[in-house]
Amino acid sequence: VSDEVMELKRVLLERYSNLHLDALHHVSEWMVRSYGDDIGDKTSIYTMLRTNKGYRGLTHPMREVEVDGKTKYLPNFKYRYFTEDIPMGLVVTRGIAELAGVPTPHMDDVILWCQEMLGKEYIVDGKLVGKDLHSTRAPQHYGFTNLDDFMEVNHYLDGPEVKTVSETAQVDPSTPVTAQ
């Protein structure tokens, strides 16, 4: 998923050359920078998660269930890790990627699995058009179908230093700039 986010960053910066995305890093780089020597094994994201001292003792909320007369525990999929982080985080990123034309097969797999666990519907036939899209902050929930419109309306392109690649290509350096 982090590779897909980094591809989205690359595409956005290619299109909007001065967009400020410096704080967006691959999760493995972020973990090493944030936790450093607290990570015992830095060979993969999996091992970083498993050997990070900062994560020791953290558990996922569970719910008790009865199976074949025995008490078992299953993840509580109604906990905020799913009910908030998916519609207000991952689905938003997926929505921006869709507008930018960036494929997100791994992100889609995560969202599809989570929506099944949550009893929600965000992605249908590879698009963010599900019946529960209204409960997200994805651009598609607000009617955006065009990346340039989304970027402009949300003021991500404000300021003279941010130009789209197409705008930069159209500027004639011999033309004087006038204040508006």
Q: What percent of the chain has pLDDT over 90?
A: 76
* Whole-number Å distance between alpha carbons of 93 and 123: 13
Q: Which residue has the tokens 């910066």?
A: 13
Of residues 13 and 60, which shows the higher confidence score?
Answer: 13
In this prediction the pTM is 0.80
CA-closest candidate to residue 164, choices 2, 1, 14: 14
Using pLDDT thresholds of 50, 70 and 90, give the confidence band for residue 178: very low
What local confidence, expressed as pLDDT, does residue 58 receive? 86
